Structure 1
Amino acid sequence: MHVLYEDAGKLKAETIFSEADTSLQVESASGKRSKIKRNAVLFTFEQPAPDTLLPAAETLAATLDAGFLWECAPQQEFEAAALAEEYFGHAPDAVEKTATILALSAAPAYFHRRGKGAFRPAPPDILQAALAAIEKKRRQAELQAEWTEALLAGTLPDALKPVAATFLDRPDKNTLEWKAFDAAVQQSGISPERLLLSLGVWPHPLAMMRDRFLSAHFPRGTQWPPVDVQDWGADLPQVEVEAYSLDDASTIEIDDALSVSIPAPGTVRVGIHIAVPALAVTRGSALDEQARARMSTVYMPGDKIPMLPRELIAAFSLDEGQWRPALSLYVTGRVADGEILEAETRLERIRVAANLRHGRIDEVTEAALADPAAPLPHAHWLRPLWQLAQALCAVRDRTRGKPENNDRIEYGFEIEGPPDDPDSIVRLVPRQRNAPLDRLVAEYMILANTQWGALLARHGVPGIYRSQQMGRTRMSTQALPHESIAVPQYIWSTSPLRRYVDLVNQGQILAAAEHGVSARLAAPFKPKDADLYALIGAFDSQYTLWGEFQSSMERYWCIRWLQQQGLKEVRAHVLRENLVRLACAPFVTRINGLPEYERGHEVRLDILGYDEIGLDIECRLREAG
């Protein structure tokens, strides 16, 4: 005797080995024995053999029409065996009963299960709704398959055009459009980016990179609402100083300028003048909320997205010939040993004499700075600044125990043509990072950030500090040492037109400079302000995102530059293992199979191909240097 029973929702047919009151022991065709409950049994049978019952029943069930069964079935609950007898017109055998159970179970729209071997036909209105849903699903499957086929054939269906650009970063995976695209990706075996580019969603990889970034981080566009420009700081005292700024030619936000005088032999008095947008961007204001949303200016070759509205930048930028408010730090230092004899912070109005630009006075050398007789532009300004800057650098070198290693060549990017056109001409402009003018400006920015960090700590006013200890750099509200710069404390405060942290710190510095010991109560952020801690985390995260985008765009334009130069062979230097840096461009790549060389070892590479989507180049080792 054999038995048909249910096990975990599946039908099984096996031979009865032994029986008890509430259970059976059954044996499969392979000889495996199992114990089943009697209430799981649908029926017993003698013919056919268990291993042939289900295949025969499945074949027969495929011929049974669910709609006809529904018409034959009673409108109340019924047993499958009873319907089988009605349908076949005779007492059904095991195959016919099993086929009926399978057919009923496979048509949930027509029949609802009501227990072991029992069913109830769906009411007519519910059946019609279910059949309509099934038909809709069938049509959707056909449409999805049609779209997938078109995508694989290289055509973007009209229905997918409005949403195709969202497939990479913010797809709605419940839609037919996404499912059709995902199926095409799986079947084609290429990346989603390459498939979308081949379909013309973007005309080229550069457009894809820019669009993805802007839609993710600037979905409402990069433009600011109109700004009501005021004469901020009009009541501040006007101070006549001979100050100059020094920036790249593309810089529109002139954050800083320097002035200098000689109060006594052997000493230099330097004025470090910083633009003061904190006068307008006060905590909690609309401008503050907008600046905080951006956190920083976004840089990319040939283009930028300013942190602040251009009208506000124009109102505070230290443009030549214009009276502008400035947060000024006046320090008097001794040239012989770099000791700071006096420091004073003032809020005032100054007029910058000229905005000097790199590329126009880059002929300045250390020898010319050291030789009073050598021709030198703006010599009366540069030479005393250089003398004190050297002394300040020497102090930091002694503290650190070694000179700062920053002599690597850096590159600027100049784009001739629209920055969103890959056919624009790109130029790489090398500049020695340790060039005298860069060192000079950097030294005074370090001095200002160190002195103002000390001012905040002295008055108990919280600020956002950058520290480095045990090789780990982090931002916090603690005035901790920065080991690589070799200063006791360090904040970012000299780029308030470009970085939100500098802007926040500037508001704190203004309070400390004006209110002194009572500044803790007057400052925008009070000690232990939870929002200051939240701001640090948000800035770190967003500043990293902006930096990654800038790096990606620079890699793209490096690849374009290599192609425009027609280079087939390049020199590179080993960084570690199979990682190398090109000698002609700021580009790092991996060379598979590169022999083990020491860091800095020169190799020659053949360029085999370019990948503007993956932002890499394919190279092979030509020869070791």
Structure 2
Amino acid sequence: MVEKGALVEFKHQGQPRLGVVDRPEGKKNWVVVDQRGQAHTLHPRDFTYEASGEGFKPTDIPQFLREAEDHIDPSSLEIAWEFLSEAGESADPASLALLLFSDQSPSLCYAAHRLLADDKIFFKQKGARYEPRPAAQVEDLQRQIQRETQRQQEWTSFITKARQALAGETIIWEKSDRPRLEVLERLALFGDESSQRTQAIEILDALGVSPTAAGAFDALVALGLWSAHENLALRRSQIPSHFSENLLTMAQQRLQSPPPDPDQQRLDLTHLKVYTVDDASTQEIDDGLSVETLEEGTQRLWIHIADPTRWLVPGDDLDLEARRRCTTVYLPTGIIPMFPVELATQAMSLIQGQTCCALSFGVTLTDTGDIQDYAIHPSMIKPTYRLTYEDVGEILELGLKAEPELQGLAHWAQVRSRWRVTQGAISINMPESNIKVSEAEDQIAIEVLDDSPARQLVAEMMILAGEVAARYGETHALAIPFRSQPQPELPSDEELIQLPNGWVRDSAIRRCMTRSEVGITPSRHATLGLDRYSQVTSPIRRYTDLLVHFQLKAHLRGEPLPFSSSEVTELAQGASTASYEATLVERQTKRYWALEYLRRHQDQVWDVMLLRWLRQDDGLGLIMVEDLGLELAMRFNRDVTLGEQFQVMVSHANPRQDIIRFEEVVPEEQESSTAIAAS
């Protein structure tokens, strides 16, 4: 029963507080006065402890607490737990005080009470007594508390370092910081859909940063972990951007100690003049071209394709990694290769002046461009010239007699192109932009790739090799990936003739094109005008091409094919999915840098053409920025006709938000005419 002058403990704002019972308040409550003289009206059930003794005054409380606190040592509780566990006994504050302090004075009993009440490890309260927990449970609780303590320490350390980094200090991040940084990354990448959004917001709140996806992005940039132009499309994808140390080591070992060449009887074609033709920045050189004049004067075309299978074994780690990646990814900021760079750009590539392994396709054509005869050989070649498209264009334009082979290749490319047109090939000539960004991301260059004779030459030879590979595969019933394209429903001649010739018409045709398909049964490819086709000319950067090489070479050697029909189907489907993702990342990244380029050139006037309407009722059309080869949306507030050319400036550009707005520039003479008419 509660008496006046009793010393009791109660909770105030969640914390234990001592007070002295002063007087009753009503029938059930008591007024309790704490050491500060503050009165509290409490019901006896609110008391969490009552000290033995009576006649206490509020002024006694400070001394009472000092005496108790001198004996509150949580480590002593473990000793009591061990003793009571062995004895199989429980304890209350009085018995624990006697056990620990050999004294049961009120202040020491209160010290024992506080030890038991605050304990989360050794004892469990049952009524007025405390029972020792089982040893296994104690160990588990200790581990939990240790983990929580470590987590709190890591949290404090992380927030401290993050604040220092935001203040401009150089910080060395530790492995324990990585999970929290990844939480921020996920919020920046996926916004409200992030699975750890709550944790990210907690971090951003602690740093005083806006708890949004944009805030997380800005924080990662400010922390020096991301670039201001971080490629979010790439980070959201499943595309690996680095190779493991094991794979890099394996690549070096292959360079130093190649596996046995399964094609010991390679055809020696090192006497042929071989041209490799690529952009100046190309590192993976996977094709070369030759012309051989036979005794009767017939010309045989040779398309030499790099032979990376020489350095691989089907199913080894390098092959499996290439399957996982499926393609080299080409970004304005650089490439993400399918193979480690040292291997892809050295041993696997066709290097000028070096004897290289290749898979060579020898083809003779009829006068009209159809295939007359062909042969496929694992070979040895020695590339003579590494040329750019510009080099080839200049040689062809000048008609240099020193390079008749190149003139011959150009001739047969034209013959071949005309033949494909007779077979129903669909020609679409739209400008394509090539965007390059410097390593420091301070320079952006945009080049328009025109459909030059040099590019047409190389493209025709690659298509020819693809048809030869497909013919061989079809003739011998090989399980290889064939690429096909269903016939599109093109606009009628009446519809096309109403459209301006050139880009507008080609844009209308392009809209009708169907997606290509991959399977192990040959079928027609509508755009190319071929009844069978297989991509085979880029085995360093496209896994389906590599797959064709594995299968063709095994058959040429008379060996069983390394991959069954079902395996080829599965691998080709997986490669198609990965390639589609890579294409999306490439497009999104290219668009980002295109918009960033325009943002940096907002004062420039651009010549554009309206290609087609996206939503004509809303005045939304697709324009071609002629000097850049970029197709972008623009909203019009006047009547515009398809094919109309005019000038625009950028009124607003935000690459991160994928926003671009143009405003039309009215020529000065038109403004003057309008002003005169108005007056």
Q: Same fold judged by TM-score > 0.5?
A: yes
Which whole-Å deviations, capped at 9, do the CAs of 1:462-486 have from their partners, x for residues lacking one?
0111111142421112211111111
Residues 480 and 375 of structure 1: is their aligned pair in 2 closer, same or farther, counting only changes over 3 Å? closer
SS of 2:598's equivalent in the other structure is helix
Match 2:538 to one of 492, 495, 500: 495
- Give the structure 1 partner of residue 64 of structure 2: none
Match 2:656 to one of 608, 613, 620: 613
Match 1:438 to one of 450, 455, 465: 455
Residue 490 (structure 2) pairs with residue 467 (structure 1): no
Residue 633 (structure 2) pairs with residue 573 (structure 1): no
Match 2:399 to one of 366, 375, 396: 375
SS of 1:469's equivalent in the other structure is coil
Which whole-Å deviations, capped at 9, do the CAs of 1:444-494 have from their partners, x for residues lacking one?
111111111121121111011111114242111221111111101111111
| Partners of 1:481 and 1:488 within 8 A in 2 | yes
| Amino acid in the other structure paired with 1:431 | L
| Partners of 2:241 and 2:336 within 8 A in 1 | no
Q: Distance in 1 between matches of 2:50 and 2:477?
A: 87
- Residue 590 of structure 1, CA deviation: 3.3
Q: Distance in 2 between matches of 1:589 and 1:71?
A: 79
Where in structure 2 are the equivalents of 1:39-50 lying within 5 Å?
Answer: none
- Give the structure 2 partner of residue 454 of structure 1: 471
* Greater Cα shift, 438-447 or 205-214: 205-214
Q: Distance in 1 between matches of 2:314 and 2:604?
A: 54
Residue 334 (structure 2) pairs with residue 294 (structure 1): no
Match 1:247 to one of 269, 275, 278: 278
Residue 448 (structure 2) pairs with residue 426 (structure 1): no
| Amino acid in the other structure paired with 2:268 | Q
- Give the structure 2 partner of residue 386 of structure 1: 410
Residues 159 and 499 of structure 1: is their aligned pair in 2 closer, same or farther, counting only changes over 3 Å? closer
| Amino acid in the other structure paired with 2:580 | T
SS of 1:360's equivalent in the other structure is helix
- Residue 561 of structure 1, CA deviation: 3.3
| Amino acid in the other structure paired with 1:542 | A
- Give the structure 2 partner of residue 478 of structure 1: 521
SS of 1:167's equivalent in the other structure is helix
- Give the structure 2 partner of residue 303 of structure 1: 334
Which whole-Å deviations, capped at 9, do the CAs of 1:13-64 have from their partners, x for residues lacking one?
xxxxxxxxxxxxxxxxxxxxxxxxxxxxxxxxxxxxxxxxxxxxxxxxx977
Where in structure 2 are the equivalents of 1:99-138 lying within 5 Å?
Answer: none
SS of 2:384's equivalent in the other structure is strand
Q: Distance in 2 between matches of 1:572 and 1:267?
A: 48
Where in structure 2 are the equivalents of 1:65-104 lying within 5 Å?
Answer: 68=47
| Amino acid in the other structure paired with 2:300 | R
Match 1:200 to one of 199, 211, 223: 223
Q: Distance in 1 between matches of 2:129 and 2:657?
A: 55
- Residue 526 of structure 1, CA deviation: 2.3
* Greater Cα shift, 489-498 or 339-348: 339-348
- Give the structure 1 partner of residue 266 of structure 2: 236
Aligned CA-pair RMSD: 4.9
Residues 479 and 192 of structure 1: is their aligned pair in 2 closer, same or farther, counting only changes over 3 Å? farther
Q: Distance in 1 between matches of 2:181 and 2:298?
A: 62
Q: Distance in 2 between matches of 1:288 and 1:318?
A: 20
Unaligned residue ranges in structure 1 (runs of 5+): 1-61, 73-108, 110-118, 369-373
Q: Distance in 2 between matches of 1:605 and 1:63?
A: 78
- Give the structure 1 partner of residue 354 of structure 2: 322
| Partners of 1:255 and 1:494 within 8 A in 2 | yes
| Partners of 1:160 and 1:177 within 8 A in 2 | no
- Give the structure 1 partner of residue 390 of structure 2: 359
Residues 594 and 243 of structure 1: is their aligned pair in 2 closer, same or farther, counting only changes over 3 Å? farther
SS of 2:393's equivalent in the other structure is coil
- Give the structure 2 partner of residue 22 of structure 1: none
Residues 208 and 394 of structure 1: is their aligned pair in 2 closer, same or farther, counting only changes over 3 Å? closer
Q: Distance in 2 between matches of 1:182 and 1:65?
A: 44
- Give the structure 2 partner of residue 191 of structure 1: 214
Q: Distance in 1 between matches of 2:218 and 2:42?
A: 43
| Amino acid in the other structure paired with 1:375 | G
Which whole-Å deviations, capped at 9, do the CAs of 1:129-157 have from their partners, x for residues lacking one?
9xx99xx99x98xx99x979x99x97799
- Residue 601 of structure 1, CA deviation: 3.7
Q: Distance in 2 between matches of 1:121 and 1:540?
A: 70
- Residue correspondences, number: 507
Q: Normalising by structure 2, report the TM-score.
A: 0.62
SS of 2:447's equivalent in the other structure is strand
- Give the structure 2 partner of residue 259 of structure 1: 290
Which whole-Å deviations, capped at 9, do the CAs of 1:568-601 have from their partners, x for residues lacking one?
4323333433243422324443335655745544
| Partners of 1:468 and 1:484 within 8 A in 2 | yes
| Partners of 1:296 and 1:543 within 8 A in 2 | yes
| Amino acid in the other structure paired with 2:386 | N
Match 1:344 to one of 375, 378, 386: 375
Residues 64 and 582 of structure 1: is their aligned pair in 2 closer, same or farther, counting only changes over 3 Å? farther
Q: Distance in 1 between matches of 2:628 and 2:45?
A: 71
- Residue 508 of structure 1, CA deviation: 0.9
Aligned identity (percent) is 22
- Residue 284 of structure 1, CA deviation: 1.0
Residues 612 and 383 of structure 1: is their aligned pair in 2 closer, same or farther, counting only changes over 3 Å? same
SS of 1:591's equivalent in the other structure is strand
* Structure ranking higher in helix proportion: 2
Residue 433 (structure 2) pairs with residue 411 (structure 1): yes
Q: Distance in 2 between matches of 1:224 and 1:246?
A: 28
Match 2:253 to one of 217, 227, 235: 227
Residues 69 and 567 of structure 1: is their aligned pair in 2 closer, same or farther, counting only changes over 3 Å? same
Unaligned residue ranges in structure 2 (runs of 5+): 1-40, 52-119, 121-125, 188-193, 488-513, 671-679
- Residue 283 of structure 1, CA deviation: 1.2
* Greater Cα shift, 218-227 or 547-556: 218-227
Residues 205 and 265 of structure 1: is their aligned pair in 2 closer, same or farther, counting only changes over 3 Å? farther
| Amino acid in the other structure paired with 2:292 | S
Q: Distance in 2 between matches of 1:198 and 1:316?
A: 38
| Partners of 1:207 and 1:420 within 8 A in 2 | no
Residues 318 and 220 of structure 1: is their aligned pair in 2 closer, same or farther, counting only changes over 3 Å? closer
| Amino acid in the other structure paired with 1:571 | D
Q: Distance in 2 between matches of 1:465 and 1:165?
A: 44
SS of 2:248's equivalent in the other structure is coil
SS of 1:463's equivalent in the other structure is coil
- Give the structure 1 partner of residue 183 of structure 2: 167
SS of 1:205's equivalent in the other structure is coil
- Residue 270 of structure 1, CA deviation: 0.6
Q: Distance in 2 between matches of 1:351 and 1:591?
A: 51
| Partners of 2:183 and 2:197 within 8 A in 1 | no
Residue 565 (structure 2) pairs with residue 527 (structure 1): yes
